[in-house]
Amino acid sequence: MSINQENKKFIRCEICGTENKIDSVYCNECGAQINEIKKEEVASTPKEIKTEKKKDKAPVNKKNTKKIDPIKLTYLTVTLIVIGGAILYSSGIFDDPVSTTVQHNHEQPVDDFHRGVDMSKLQEINNLRESVTNNPADHQSMLHLAHLLNDSGFKEEAIKWYRQYLKDHGDEADVWVDMGVCYFDLNDFENAVSSMLKGIELEPNHQIAHFNLGIVTYTKGNINEAVQWWNKAIEINPTSDIANRAKELIKNNTNM
């Protein structure tokens, strides 16, 4: 989409007229694409998110953490995708999707997770954004908006609304984990980890948070630490689908 370039720092959206940062891909106000998507921004990386619970929050042992070079990391990432295990899950969806109050699919495989913005939801997003702006006390609509933005590829704005929601509902572990997914998809691993750890602090047996932290640390090249997180996810509920996925990941990566 063409844009009006105001100066070196801002780009004006031709749809709504909002000024955006020069490196923004999508308009922060209306979500319209204002720049070409760089290949590295849609590169396939392991992701998905989920939850459950574990008693021990044992510290991760970093002494024997393996460090791998970028070429090997790329190979390992591709391998992870091939075996179908490198997916982050959003909280509370995998085991019981019907129980969620907001119907949003957070079981996206890696290739879908980085596909970009879902423009088909733009009108619903705009309506929700207007509704929440006019009625900020409607917290459920605010959370719905955050989830929809997350699912539609507007990760940065999703984080904004997740944070706003958490100001009044900071004890909801699932929301912290969902926000961590957004940070992970933006390659902000530090905030992804801290958000997921907050979820575990609130719910020590949050299985999906443990599983996801394994994916995040694996992506960073810390295989031993990733295995520790996956083992914790298995301990929480050994018969769950998440545990089976974690077992598969450990089996395919511990001998590399």
Give pLDDT tens digits for 141-165.
Answer: 999 999 999 999 999 999 999 999 9
Topology of domain 40-253, per CATH?
1.25.40
The residue type at 135? N
Write out the H or E segment, with its range, that includes residue 12. strand 10-12
Question: How many helices and strands (H and E) does the chain possess?
Answer: 10, 3
Residue boundaries of the structural domains of the chain = 1-36, 40-253
CA–CA separation, 98 and 103 (whole Å): 8
Bigger pLDDT: 129 vs 26 = 129
Among all chains, which residue has been given the structure tokens 């006390």?
137
Give the 3-state DSSP-derived string for 18-31, with helices as H, strands as E and coil as C. Answer: CEEECCCCECCCCC
Give pLDDT tens digits for 193-252.
Answer: 999 999 999 999 999 999 999 999 999 999 999 999 999 999 999 999 999 999 999 998
Burial of 12 (0-12, 13-18, 19+ CB in 10 A): middle
